[in-house]
């Protein structure tokens, strides 16, 4: 039983690409969400600034 657990723990081939894909997906979701949030706030600020100048 100990040998089986040890072999499962040490045998991590094939997981690297899947782990990188999951990390990339999480990072993309965070970046897209942040850009959308900042984009809408920036649009409001620029619109208010433009209307106050005019």
pLDDT (0 to 100) of residue 20? 85
Q: Which two tokens stand for residue 16?
A: 């690297």
pTM exceeding the 0.75 threshold for the entire prediction: no
How many domains are contained in the chain? 1
Question: CA-CA distance, 38 to 46, in Å (whole number)?
Answer: 12
Q: Evaluate whether residue 15 is within a structural domain.
A: no
Range of the domain at 51: 20-54
Question: CA-CA distance, 49 to 11, in Å (whole number)?
Answer: 59
Q: Evaluate whether residue 53 is within a structural domain.
A: yes
Q: Evaluate whether residue 12 is within a structural domain.
A: no
Question: CA-CA distance, 15 to 22, in Å (whole number)?
Answer: 11
Q: What is the mean pLDDT of each run of 10 residues along the chain (54 residues)?
A: 70 71 93 86 84 82
The SS3 call for residue 1 is coil
pLDDT (0 to 100) of residue 12? 62
Q: Evaluate whether residue 38 is within a structural domain.
A: yes
pLDDT tens column, 38-51: 877 888 888 888 88
């Amino acid at each position: 039983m100990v040998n089986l657990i040890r072999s499962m723990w040490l045998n991590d081939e094939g997981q690297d690409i899947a782990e990188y894909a999951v990390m990339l997906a999480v990072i993309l979701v965070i970046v897209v969400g942040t850009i959308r949030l900042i984009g809408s706030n920036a649009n409001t600020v620029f619109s208010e600034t433009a209307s106050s100048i005019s």
